[in-house]
Amino acid sequence: MKESNFDDLDQDELYEHYKYTATHGQEPLRVDKFLMNFIENATRNKIQQAIKAGNVLVNEQTVKANYKVKPFDVVRVVLAHPPHENLLVPENIPLDIVYEDDELIVVNKPAGLVVHPGHGNYSGTLVNGLIFHFEQLPKNADNRPGLVHRIDKDTSGLLVVAKTDYSMAHLAKQFFDKKTHRLYYALVWGNVEKDEGTIEGHIGRSLKNRLQMSVYPDGEHGKPAITHYKVIERFSYVTLVECRLETGRTHQIRAHFKHIGHTLFNDERYGGNEVLKGTTFTKYKQFVENCFKVLPRQALHAKTLGFRHPITKEILHFNSELPNDITDCIEKWRHYTIHQKED
């Protein structure tokens, strides 16, 4: 079933095929010539085509063919399909299963666990754990066992996994038809002006940084994306928001909130690991850095998941409590805000 929500999520995904770090003695050399020295059987024309398509990154930035590689530059070739050697191997990875029957599984994924192999993570993923614990999981259109949707590595929270082909197709259609219920909690930089609102804008891969997604004017680039939000609590310089997804694009919440000037707290890929709001006092900077240590990843949690059971047709609804790293960070901000008002 190619026309699925999962396909919408993964169409812009890139896989690392090659990675080379220039040595300290590297003479300035065009990046296309540099890659010719490493990639067996590659023609210069094909390498230049990959560079033109934005599939060659130097220090995580796209470059032109005439870019001169310097000592310690990290050169990566990323493509839309996984490497041929990417074979799934079962691994005994503990799973936090909150629900299971003959048709499906609901998993509470911890932050730091990659959902499926890719981007240099070819083992130690949720999928490696799933195929260890469950035999004969159905494969989706991208040949990934059990997966109907996914969340980012450093996002925690709920995922539904299909155990049969029928459930795979049925659940995928629910996501595609926007009939699932998904709520995320996010801590974002700044004091969000409105108590609730909707963020709309096409999301596609950034033309400047292939590891980021950007928001574009309607129809210019990417696919339509809609995020509804509601403010839960304000802490002067950051805001806790609840997000309801109407669509499921890659990095949707992260890209949408950066677009409106409220990057997710400690979201390194989108610049949220800098002190983006607040005072210039040294103590404030130290406080924020301490928060980063408590929450060493983007502040995003897939809190609620609801869908119709493929067989019984019953509406299933699951809730995952915020993990300790997010609650500890929120508590620090709560105390800081109270003390600021008292002062």
263: alpha, beta or left? (left if phi > 0; alpha if psi -120 to 50): beta
User: Residue 276: is it exposed, middle or buried by C-beta count within 10 angstroms (0-12/13-18/19+)?
Assistant: middle
The string of DSSP letters for 164-197 reads: SHHHHHHHHHHHHTT-SEEEEEEEEES--SSSEE
The upper half-sphere exposure of residue 129, i.e. CA atoms within 13 Å in the direction of its Cβ, equals 16
CA distances to 116, 136, 280, 341 from 99, in Å? 20, 19, 47, 44
The Cα 239–Cα 233 span in angstroms is: 6
Tell me if residue 101 is catalytic. no
Using alpha carbons only, give the angle 336, 338, 341 rounded to the nearest 5 degrees.
Answer: 110
> Per-residue b/e over 292-329, b at no fewer than 16 CB within 10 Å?
bebbebbbbbbbbbbbeebeeeeebebebebeebbeeb
DSSP designation for 236: S
Mention every residue, 6+ apart, whose C-beta is less than 8 A from residue 189: 237, 238, 262, 263, 264, 265, 272, 276, 277
The Cα 20–Cα 4 span in angstroms is: 35
Residue 278: what are its φ and ψ, rounded to 5°?
120, -155
Q: Pick the catalytic residue: 152, 154, 267, 325?
A: 152
CB 186 within 8 A of CB 270: no
The Cα 269–Cα 273 span in angstroms is: 8
Q: Which residues are catalytic?
A: 152
